[in-house]
């Protein structure tokens, strides 16, 4: 029971495998003699086959994620930032459940081992009680395993609903080697291999399956014929090897005879080498005596050359002494010229320094004058600008005054005309009124006169 629990608990461990491609690998290879074994189609066409492959791909993806749960549970704190609080909390709870299960399984295994060791020495009643307690503890494991399964399902749902967290977990597991166990990796590889077989099976049509079977039969027959040919060739090879062994024995005999002859030749060569060495030693002695005579002659020549060298050295020393005196005289003259040059140059330097100081003072004065000139130029330009502005304003004011005067005279003329016209109209009205009254008075007087009459 404990071994079953451990086998179930170690399923989700190890590095992530690459994503599964929907295209078959065989379709990407170049044309080969096994082309008839490759399906003609490279993509699934029916909905049923696509659904089958999607179910298998989803199963592989879930198996990859489930195999990383132990890695994620062991590094919850480091992965909490990329997984989120909810997923990190679920992983920590899952890690606690797995830890409790492993501790329980380890204690049960230890207890079973002790019972097996103490089974022969303990009483039956005590052993029965121990077995009952062990069975009772073992009965607590299935609910805990069910909790672990439920926790695994909930974590997988969270990872499937959050692809970003799943990708982060896979990237971290890929960066760290050994995050998935060998069993889990083997299980995932088996699923991937099953997917390849199933994909190729779904791509193969019934006609292609018959062609494939026929091709395999042809290959089998061809293999059988090739095997028969190989057997015949092997028998011929064995016969040839026997003939070759006989020839080799003959050649070995010839080689042995040649070795004997070579041994004799070596002996003869050693004797001839000894005679040559004796003759060489004689010649070496003769050459040594001749070389001694030549060495004596060369030594005499060396003595003569030494005497000639001594004479030449004495002559060169005298010439060198004369040249040294001439050199000393030239050096004293050069030193006098240098002293004279130094004195003249010091005087020139003093004069130059005085002129340079005067020049610097004049440059400072010139700079001050230039600055004053620049200031005056700026002030003159400003004053000139102000004068131009004031003259322009004065001209504009004069023009405005002229316009105003013209306008005033025009207004006054209009006003005076208006006053004159209004006075004339009032006078005309008064005259008309006076004329009207005079007419009315005359009519009244006429009426009165008529009445009296």
pLDDT single digits (tens) 285-297: 888 888 888 888 8
Tokens (6 digits) for 285: 């002695």
- Answer yes or no: is pLDDT of 322 > 60: yes
Q: What is the pLDDT of residue 6?
A: 33
Report the 10 Å Cβ neighbour count for 191. Answer: 18
Range in 29-33, 292-296, 297-301 the model is least confident about? 29-33
Q: pLDDT category, 205, cuts 50, 70, 90?
A: low
- The answer to whether 94 touches 153, Cβ cutoff 8 Å, is no
Q: Please state the rounded mean pLDDT for residues 32-39.
A: 52
Res 67 pLDDT > 50: yes
Single out the residue of 238, 240, 183 nearest to residue 12, CA to CA.
183
Tell me the pLDDT band of 12, cut-offs 50, 70 and 90: very low
DSSP collapsed to 3 states, 137-169: HHHCHHHHHHHHHHHHHHHHHHHHHCHHHHHHH
What mean pLDDT do residues 16-38 have?
Answer: 42
CB 53 within 8 A of CB 22: yes
Structure confidence at residue 195 (pLDDT):
80
Q: Which is more confident, 64 or 381?
A: 381
User: What is the pLDDT confidence band of residue 186, given thresholds at 50, 70 and 90?
Assistant: confident
The residue that leads in pLDDT, 128 or 249, is 249
Predicted confidence at residue 7, as pLDDT, reads 35
pLDDT digit string, tens, across residues 425-439: 888 887 777 776 665
pLDDT band at 173 (very low <50, low <70, confident <90, very high): confident
Please, which pLDDT band fits residue 17 given cuts at 50, 70 and 90? very low
Give residue 266's pLDDT: 82
The predicted pLDDT at position 178 comes to 60
CA atoms of 281 and 271, how far apart (whole Å): 16
pTM of the model as a whole: 0.37
Q: Is the pLDDT of residue 93 over 60?
A: yes
pLDDT digits 0-9 by tens, 348-372: 888 888 888 888 898 898 998 889 8
Give me 140's structure tokens: 């607590």
């Amino acid at each position: 029971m404990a071994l079953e629990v451990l086998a179930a608990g170690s399923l989700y461990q190890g590095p992530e495998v690459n994503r599964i491609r929907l295209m078959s690998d065989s379709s990407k290879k170049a044309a080969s003699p096994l082309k008839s074994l490759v399906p003609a189609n490279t993509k699934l066409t029916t909905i049923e086959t696509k659904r089958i492959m999607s179910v298998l791909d989803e199963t592989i993806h879930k198996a990859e994620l489930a195999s990383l749960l132990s890695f994620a549970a062991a590094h919850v704190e480091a992965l909490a930032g990329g997984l989120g609080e909810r997923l990190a909390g679920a992983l920590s709870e899952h890690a606690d459940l797995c830890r409790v299960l492993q501790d329980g399984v380890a204690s049960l295994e230890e207890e079973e081992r002790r019972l097996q060791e103490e089974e022969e020495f303990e009483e039956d009643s005590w052993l029965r009680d121990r077995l009952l307690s062990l069975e009772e503890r073992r009965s607590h494991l299935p609910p805990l395993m069910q909790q672990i399964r439920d926790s695994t399902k909930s974590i997988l749902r969270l990872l499937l609903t959050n692809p970003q967290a799943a990708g982060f977990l896979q990237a971290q597991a890929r960066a760290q080697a050994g995050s998935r166990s060998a069993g889990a990796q083997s299980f995932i590889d088996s699923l991937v291999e099953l997917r390849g077989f199933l994909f190729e099976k779904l791509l193969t049509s019934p006609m292609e399956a018959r062609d494939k079977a026929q091709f395999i039969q042809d290959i089998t027959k061809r293999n059988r014929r090739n095997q028969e040919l190989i057997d015949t060739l092997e028998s011929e090879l064995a016969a040839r090897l026997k003939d070759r062994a006989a020839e080799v024995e003959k050649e070995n005999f010839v080689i042995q005879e040649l070795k004997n002859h070579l041994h004799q030749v070596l002996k003869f060569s050693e004797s001839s080498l000894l005679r040559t060495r004796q003759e060489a030693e004689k010649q070496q002695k003769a050459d040594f005596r001749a070389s001694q005579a030549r060495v004596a002659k060369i030594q005499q020549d060396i003595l003569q050359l030494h005497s000639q060298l001594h004479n030449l050295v004495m002559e060169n020393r005298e010439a060198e002494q004369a040249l040294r005196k001439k050199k000393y005289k030239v050096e004293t003259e050069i030193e006098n010229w240098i002293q004279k040059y130094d004195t003249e140059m010091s005087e020139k330097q003093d004069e130059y320094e005085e002129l340079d100081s005067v020049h610097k003072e004049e440059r400072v004065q010139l700079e001050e004058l230039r600055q004053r000139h620049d200031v005056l130029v700026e002030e003159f330009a400003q004053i000139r600008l102000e004068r131009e502005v004031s003259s322009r304003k004065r001209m504009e004011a004069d023009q405005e005054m002229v316009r105003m005067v013209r306008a005033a005279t025009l207004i006054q003329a209009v006003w005076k005309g208006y006053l004159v016209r209004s006075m004339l109209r009032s006078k005309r009205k008064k005259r008309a009124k006076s004329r009207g009254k005079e007419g009315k008075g005359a009519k009244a007087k006429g009426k009165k006169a008529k009445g009296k009459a």
